């Protein structure tokens, strides 16, 4: 999550209000991402969908979000395989890799 925050700062979104608008989410959720203090230690799929669907999300930030999803989904799939389950608990379906 901190990579998303760093990408926002690199794009010039330095205030919480600007970061929230750039991601298309509310301030509280933006704060959680910026501080990296999510209670589940991950973002839920609805939040990720909103960020990727937001036309104001900068391309470089969008790329970091997609990378986050790919890495997290890969980790979850590996854990699921280890437990004998073939399904990822974090799958975003078709937007997980393509952003659509």
| Confidence band for 95, pLDDT divided at 50, 70 and 90 | low
| Confidence band for 1, pLDDT divided at 50, 70 and 90 | confident
At 32, list the tokens. 């959680």
Residue with tokens 């989904």: 73
The CA distance from 38 to 55, in Å, is: 24
Report CA-CA distances (Å) from 41 to 18, 52, 59, 91, 94: 23, 19, 24, 16, 23
- Residue 5 confidence (pLDDT) above 70: yes
Q: What is the pLDDT of residues 23-76, one digit of tens each?
A: 999 999 999 888 877 666 678 889 999 999 999 999 999 999 999 888 877 666
Handedness of CA 26, 14, 3, 51 (dihedral sign): positive
Q: Check residue 36 and give its pLDDT.
A: 78
């Amino acid at each position: 999550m901190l990579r998303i925050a760093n990408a926002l700062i690199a794009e010039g979104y330095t205030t919480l209000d600007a970061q929230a608008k750039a991601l298309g989410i509310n301030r509280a959720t933006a704060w959680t991402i910026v501080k990296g203090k999510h209670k589940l230690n991950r973002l839920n799929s609805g939040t990720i969908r909103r960020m990727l669907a937001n036309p104001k999300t900068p391309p470089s930030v969008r790329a970091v979000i997609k990378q986050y999803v790919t890495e997290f989904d890969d980790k979850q799939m590996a854990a699921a395989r280890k437990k004998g389950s073939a399904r990822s608990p974090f799958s975003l379906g078709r937007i997980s890799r393509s952003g659509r």
